[in-house]
Amino acid sequence: MSDNQALFERAQAVIPGGVNSPVRAFRAVGGTPRFIQRGEGAYIHDAEGRRYIDYIGSWGPMILGHGHPAVIEAVTAAAREGLSFGAPTEREIELAEEILKLVPSMEQVRLVSSGTEATMSAIRLARGATARSKFIKFEGCYHGHTDALLVKAGSGLATFGHPTSAGVPAEVAQHTIVLEYNNVAQLEEAFALHGKELACVIIEPIAGNMNFVRASVPFMTRLRELCTAHGALLVLDEVMTGFRVGLASAQGLYQKLIPGFKPDISVFGKVIGGGMPLAAFGASREIMKHLAPLGGVYQAGTLSGNPVATACGLATLREIQKPGFFEALTAKTRRLVEGLAGVAKEMGVPFSVDSEGGMFGFFLMDALPQNYAAVMTTDKERFNRFFHGMLDAGVYLAPALYEAGFVSAAHSEADIAATLDAARGALR
């Protein structure tokens, strides 16, 4: 059996920072990353044999838990038939049909391999369809590591964004306008200044990379109105929320609250791949006709529609459509977050929580923040102590203050009770 620290030291010699995605390095919280050997149901096991109740779920995809029998069976059967062909398969059609059945705002969908690839392609499609270059994103929303999306807010609405990563040229960032999430007045001013030049606005309807922050109904209503009025396309990034917060995804929630609401382009990932590398973007036929091979907007990928990934995603989507699935998952998640809030109140610790479907977030503050600036006022050191207290007690939360959490169908009442006991000790 290996040691986590020894593995981390070994990894750092051959992998930058010792990890293949930055948040895994534990730099935000300190300490040594846990190197995971296997997962089963609601649990993951590290290299030292320790078991943890898993509230990351591979950052969202494992809505059924690890190693669900129907998913494993589908993946195993697909792998026996072939790992990759670089040619069309019937299963790609089946998965596309399943997604479109559940998301009526789309008429066609293109399968890709990652959320970053999907958002990048969606923005390119919006630019090609509108013949415009500029677009709006919001501070605190993460849409992957494409150059134009690694941008922070400028000094004012008359200026454009600034790169947040080395290697991103300023001339790339100049087409990106970054606004404050849930700020209607700023949104209106930006459209007044740049409306005729905007190809699209891209937004997470529930932001999961500043923990868990919802777009307010007035904000989303006005955003839809302004996009329509100015001919800009509304791109809803549901990589994280898609089929996670409900069977109709986050757009289904807003459709119930805003008459006639629908996005122009939707982006999905995570759950639709069931843990395998798979994502998608889709829209009406009128918009999708601009995509190659029909139109001039180019996008391609050797592993797009991979036969093993599509089998995994298809099995997952079929399981979550079973009667009562989301009602049970939602109730379980609510019991967790309400329990955490109750423990915090008992301990006299400022605490606010929110959840939707199988996705949740909490803040060590009295009220839920509405934007990135408010999220940044959270007591980081207190969160880090809480994180390590929970980890030591066998509960695996995201190793960063700014990440949402996920509950799976495999989490039991005993798991939730154990989590609340751990929270009581960690908050103490």
* Catalytic annotation, residues: 142, 237, 270
Asked if 108 contacts 265 with a C-beta cutoff of 8 angstroms, the reply is: no
Of all helices (H) and strands (E), which one includes residue 335? helix 325-347
Phi, psi of 124 (to 5 degrees): -60, -40
The closest of 403, 369, 406, 277 to 22, measured between CA atoms, is 403
Of all helices (H) and strands (E), which one includes residue 214? strand 213-214
The closest of 310, 345, 288, 331 to 122, measured between CA atoms, is 288
CA distance 239 to 270: 6
- Provide the residue type at 195 as one letter: G
CA distance 8 to 142: 27
Which one-letter DSSP state was computed for residue 46?
E
CA distance 314 to 84: 17
CA distance 56 to 54: 6
CA end-to-end span of the chain, whole Å? 33
- Provide the residue type at 78 as one letter: A
Residue 225, helix vs strand vs coil: helix
* The length of the chain, given as a count of residues: 428
CA distance 58 to 61: 6
